[in-house]
Amino acid sequence: MPLIENWQICDASGSFTPEPGEPLFLRGAVFGHPNRPWIIEGEPCITTRLSSLDEAAKTAQTKNTLYQLGAQDQGFIDHLKQAGHKLAHYEEALRKGTHD
């Protein structure tokens, strides 16, 4: 399972603030991706669309890949605090298939 470090939830452009209803992605430094050998270890990238997030298990699922979540990006942590959000907000939105 690939590891993603210094990660954030974002829109396709990498913004912390996706518009309501927009698809959600992960952005971060990826290590050990078995299906994407062209990704340089630790190089920042944006995943394909997120389908689920499990904060307790520290995993996130895209269409084809289950990622192990490492440390969050500090800017993303600060953004969550300022917006009054928690990761559970995104986890629930992904379960419902939308976010607000």
User: How would you write the pLDDT of the chain (100 residues) with one tens digit per residue?
Assistant: 999 999 999 998 888 877 778 899 999 999 998 877 788 889 899 999 999 999 999 999 998 899 999 999 999 999 999 989 889 988 988 988 765 4
pLDDT of residue 99: 59
Q: Which residue has the tokens 């959600």?
A: 24
Q: Which of these, 92, 72, 64, lies nearest to 26 by C-alpha position? A: 72
Pair of tokens at residue 65:
């890949």
Structural domain boundaries enclosing 80? 3-96
Domain count, the chain: 1
Task: Please give the Cα distance from 31 to 42 (Å, whole number).
Answer: 5
